Amino acid sequence: MPYGYNGKILHINLTTGEMTVEEPPESFYRQYMGGSALNLYYLLREMPPGVDPLSPGNVLAMSVGVTTGAPVSGQSRLTVSAKSPLTGAIGDAQSGGFFPAEMKFAGFDAFIIKGRSPKPVYLWVHDGEYELRDASHLWGKITGEVEAILKEELGDEQVEIAQIGPAAEIGVRFAAIINMSNRANGRTGMGAVMASKNLKAIAVRGKEGKKNFTVANPQALSELARRGAKILPESDVAGLAKYGTAETTGAQQAMGMLPSYNFNSGVFDEWEKIDGTTMYDTILRGAAEGKQDLRGRDTCYACTIRCKRVVEIKDGPYQVDPHYGGPEYETTSTFGNYCGVSDLAAIAKANEICNKYGMDTISCGATIAWAMECFENGKITLEDTGGIELRFGNAEAMVKMTEMIARREGFGDVLANGSHRAAEMIGRGTDEYLITSHKQEAPAHMPQLKRSLALIYAVNPFGADHQSSEHDGAYEGDKLSYPERMAALGLTQPQPKLSLGPEKVRFARITQYLYSLMDSANVCQFVYGPAWQLYGPQELRDMIEYVTGWDVTIEELLTVGERRLNLLRAFNAREGIERDQDTLPKKMFDKPLEGGPTAGIAVDRQQFEAALDEYYRQNGWDVETGNPTRFKLEELGLGWVADQLNL
Amino acid sequence: MQIQITLHGILRDALPPEARGRTALTLPAGATVADALLALQLKNTTTAAINGQQVPLDYILHDGDHLHLFRPIGGGR
């Protein structure tokens, strides 16, 4: 086995049941590394353009990275890619947990899944062995039940399971793939694709693989891991560790950047009720005994941060089972401030429903918030909702609608298509209230107030995404918080707030390459990054060398990220998706924010369009279409992609 | 002069739990953000904001200001 990775990719044809193992050379791994770069290599080669995302012709690729499973924080990540049933473009989603490391130990770096099984099946992979098994008895069951049944059936509590829930089975377009019953490859509907293949679950176990896992420089890696644990308490991820991602709620509110009431405002007066510190004090498991640090925080394989939440509510109208984890900041926002809801128990309940049934909390909560604004404006009526007062602030209606979406009941059947398609189905001017880019609902960071993020939301190939670049605050002000980390990327000229000139575009583009690399090497963006993360770009480079033995440079890593971005854009170009779709929802241009310190601010359309031109130019793409050029693709070793695009 | 302080996220741990991150400081005229951080024993890498605007360490505070303090925030959180 090479250092860090298996060198084996499992190809699965569910139509025929045939499975084959491919062993690509080291050069392939160094060029693509894993994650969505590796996934796209196969999607582009094995899927023609124009395929229906829910047909057997779609290809579902699941990859870990070359460092997954190493004993250091932030390496246990899984990326799933396929054509998205939500957006019609490339779909891409990441998750953490213990599944990714166990998949590596089980003997494979990627699963490339084609066709459709004639009956429900699950894939069982253990210590290099693999088989498809009948899953008829699992179909229709929620994630926690499936997890218990499979662990019993396979006779091993340590088996890790990635699965779809009932929401995917009935075609919710933002259905997720869930592992550990509480970690989600959430975005772009990858669960719906898996369900369309009659693949209920993938179970992995690698007893021997874990024992035999080797890295190139164990001593240096161990030193890096120890250093991370040592600096954590004084680092800028200490709050993330203790209070979870929702720790940031108060700061977002203070800056007028907490997206509220379907992005009409940057402030939510009741923010403190749903803040991460409140969650810690009240509903985190163990809070009553002051033992939440011990019992209410979970982690991913070998990670020292322990940012994951475990919520337990035993009384009241919204009881929550800790097996399904707890809400992230994105989730407290979409079900909370997006919807004007300040009932933290209700938000935790909605999160539980999403994890039980297998749905993306961002698209689900944001779609409900969109419907609430439509209702407030009389575009959606009680007749549509079946008598539910779908108003901002109505926690009961929010939870009810989450359940109805999961089961496609009543108006939930419409919302299960995501807000963009629901607006097309309903009409009546409901598209005026959308907050989607590339048909995907925006996560909880505001383009109005972060202009480089406005650009990235628009150009990101799989729709609005907050984890595809560093945010503006890291490159603004007189004094950078992390000048050395930024300098390692060649970013030394911080820009004024709300600017989007060439240097800010360069910041967006370079950090997009870095984040793109992180979704290929498959590492956590809370652990490695250019600013507030536990480790900076230099330690990321070091870690990859210590694990693989490759003497990589930061420049080489950025090129891997750029390669992945070009592969994603090329996929969309094949589908006829071009510059005209690289935009923001019109309300973000036309409707100034209301209330708080950011009242009156909207995205400047002229500034935005000029930045788009600049972004395409800096990327070496065609400014008219926004598509990669042959020159750029060949420079990245992707001449075969240029051939596909007939460039 | 007196200024109101809200400590967000983990910075609230600098105060007793019952304060929930809120306090007031009495500072001499001409005091800066850096002086407030020193009084609270917080690192000067702390982010400071008044009325939604980030302010630098040498920003001169005014009576009645409400200073929000938090660690740097970024994408994905």
Residue A148, domain CATH: 3.60.9.10
Q: Is the pLDDT of residue B77 over 50?
A: no
The alpha carbons of chain A give a radius of gyration, in whole angstroms, of 23
Write out residues in chain A with pLDDT < 70, as ranges: none
The residue type of B75 is: G
Among A441, A476, A508, where does a domain finish?
Answer: A441
Instruction: Give B57's contacts in chain A (Cβ within 8 Å).
Output: 479
Question: What was the ipTM of the complex prediction?
Answer: 0.96
Q: N- to C-terminal Cα distance for chain A?
A: 39
- Tracing tokens 């994408």 back to the chain, one arrives at B75
Q: What pLDDT, on the 0 to 100 scale, is given for residue A210?
A: 97
Name the residue range of residue A122's domain: 9-212
Instruction: Give A239's contacts in chain B (Cβ within 8 Å).
Output: 9-11, 71
Asked whether residue B33 is assigned to any structural domain, the reply reads: yes
Distance from CA of A97 to the nearest CA of B (A): 17
Residues A114 and A193: beta-carbon distance below 8 Å: no
Q: Is A635 exposed, middle or buried (0-12, 13-18, 19+ CB in 10 A)?
A: middle
Asked whether residue A257 is assigned to any structural domain, the reply reads: yes
Give the chain A residue whose CA is nearest to the CA of B57.
A479
Among the partner residues B45, B52, B56, nearest to A255 by beta-carbon distance:
B52
One domain, residues A241 and A375: yes
The residue type of A318 is: Y
pLDDT in tens, A469-483: 999 999 987 778 899
Q: Do B10 and A466 touch (CB under 8 A)?
A: no
Asked whether residue A244 is assigned to any structural domain, the reply reads: yes
One domain, residues A625 and A490: yes
Q: What is the SS3 assignment for A509? A: helix
Angle between helices A502-517 and A605-619 (to 10 degrees): 60
φ, ψ for residue A264 (rounded to 5)? -85, -15
pTM as predicted: 0.98
- A327-341 b/e with 16+ CB inside 10 Å = b? bbbbbbbbbbbbbbb
Asked whether residue B6 is assigned to any structural domain, the reply reads: yes
Instruction: Give B74's contacts in chain A (Cβ within 8 Å).
Output: 470-471, 473-474, 529, 531-533
pLDDT in tens, A294-318: 999 999 999 999 999 999 999 999 9
Among the partner residues A247, A474, A596, nearest to B74 by beta-carbon distance:
A474
Count structural domains, chain A. Answer: 3
One domain, residues A528 and A381: no
Q: Is A296 exposed, middle or buried (0-12, 13-18, 19+ CB in 10 A)?
A: buried
Residues A60 and A197: beta-carbon distance below 8 Å: yes
| Residue from A232, A277, A452 to probe the interface with B (highest B Cβ count within 10 Å) | A277
Q: What is the SS3 assignment for A485? A: helix
Q: Is A200 exposed, middle or buried (0-12, 13-18, 19+ CB in 10 A)?
A: buried
Percent of chain A at pLDDT exceeding 90: 99
| A539's tokens | 């330690």
Name the residue range of residue B61's domain: 2-70
Whether the CB of B75 is below 8 Å from some CB of chain A: the reply is yes
Instruction: Give B65's contacts in chain A (Cβ within 8 Å).
Output: none
For chains A and B, count residue pairs whose Cβ atoms are closer than 8 Å.
102
One domain, residues A185 and A242: no
Q: What is the SS3 assignment for A259? A: coil
d(CA A287, CA A281): 6
What lies within 8 Å, CB to CB, of A553 at 6+ separation is: A541
Residue B72's pLDDT band, with cuts at 50, 70 and 90, is: confident
d(CA A399, CA A319): 12
Whether the CB of B68 is below 8 Å from some CB of chain A: the reply is yes
Residue A341, domain CATH: 1.10.569.10
d(CA A169, CA A162): 15
Instruction: Please spell the DSSP secondary structure of A68-119, one letter per residue.
Output: TTSSSTT---EEEEEE-TTTSSEEEEEE-SSHHHHHHHTT-SEEEEES--SS
d(CA A558, CA A326): 34
Task: Name A12's bridge partners.
Answer: A19, A113
SS (HEC) of A144-156: HHHHHHHHHHHCC
Residues A459 and A479: beta-carbon distance below 8 Å: no
pLDDT in tens, A108-139: 999 999 999 999 999 999 999 999 999 999 99
Residues A221 and A139: beta-carbon distance below 8 Å: no
Q: What pLDDT, on the 0 to 100 scale, is given for residue A296?
A: 98
d(CA A85, CA A416): 11
pLDDT in tens, B21-30: 999 999 999 9
Task: Name A311's bridge partners.
Answer: A284
Residue B65, domain CATH: 3.10.20.30
Asked whether residue B76 is assigned to any structural domain, the reply reads: no
